[in-house]
Amino acid sequence: MLLHFNPISTPFTLKPTVHHRNLTVFSQIQPIPIPFTTTNLSISDESLRSKGFNLHSTITDLNLDHLNSVFVAVGFPRRDTEKIQIALENTDSLLWIQYEKTKRPVAFARATGDGVFNAIIWDVVVDPNFQGIGLGKAVMERLVTKLLRKGITNIALYSEPRVLGFYRPLGFVADPDGIRDTGPGMSMTTASDIRNVLATAAACSTQHLTTCFTISRKFMVH
């Protein structure tokens, strides 16, 4: 469910700002006009339904024990479900995909922020039994679309270093200099193709990693 645009040739101007906390780097990109549409997605809602997947944007019908199992399956530590409940109640936007046959969540992502300017995407997970069929992209594209519709123009994504192999083909590049003054690491920035901006499918929680990295992208929506 990717938005399809022709590549934008306008060069990006990067202004890195180092944050020592959690060893993250924010690369601010000057806003550029984006023709905003949701007509061309990598996988449509109808196609998902035809394959037995249902989209949800609220925590209604979301079994937190089942969600916790997905977290554990992808390498997250098992979390207290009461704390998950509180976290989700304080989440601005979320999206999850339910497999109709089992009624269990198989893909999930959420975003927190100030509700106006900034958002951070967290906990992007896909059940290992359902990876490789586009569910990660489906979740990420719709979540980013939802944030853009709210007028949120600065979206950051925390990710684990081990998923770089997924990001590189989508247009993300590692910072060859690492995280300055904080030790080895990487920052990421998007290529000029807007498809690559929206096509992200993995994230990590700072609760279970000693080091996280961030992608930060400013959008201008007309």
SS (H, E, C) 156-176: EEEECHHHHHHHHHHCCEECC
Question: Which residue segment(s) compose the domain that 101 sits in?
Answer: 14-221
Question: Is position 29 within any domain?
Answer: yes
CA distance readout (Å), 180 to 19, 20, 144, 187: 10, 10, 29, 10
Q: Are 26 and 180 in contact (CB under 8 A)?
A: no
Q: Please identify every residue annotated as catalytic.
A: 167
Query: What does the pLDDT profile of the chain (222 residues) look like in tens digits?
Result: 433 434 333 333 333 333 333 333 233 333 333 433 455 688 999 999 999 999 999 999 999 999 999 999 999 999 999 999 999 999 999 999 999 999 999 999 999 999 999 888 889 899 999 999 999 888 888 888 898 899 987 777 766 777 766 655 444 455 444 333 333 333 334 333 333 333 333 333 333 333 344 444 444 443
Q: Are 130 and 99 in contact (CB under 8 A)?
A: yes
Question: Is position 182 within any domain?
Answer: yes
Domain with residue 77: its CATH number is: 3.40.630.30
The per-residue pLDDT for 165 is 62
The per-residue pLDDT for 135 is 95
Question: Is position 157 within any domain?
Answer: yes
Question: Is position 113 within any domain?
Answer: yes
Q: Quick one: tokens of 64?
A: 């937190």
Question: Is position 72 within any domain?
Answer: yes
Question: Is position 7 within any domain?
Answer: no
The per-residue pLDDT for 42 is 84
Question: Is position 4 within any domain?
Answer: no
Domain count of the fold of the chain: 1
The per-residue pLDDT for 168 is 55
The per-residue pLDDT for 199 is 35
Separation of alpha carbons 149 and 93, rounded Å: 11
Q: Quick one: tokens of 136?
A: 């990660």
Question: Is position 2 within any domain?
Answer: no
With H, G, I as helix, E, B as strand and everything else as coil, classify residue 221: strand
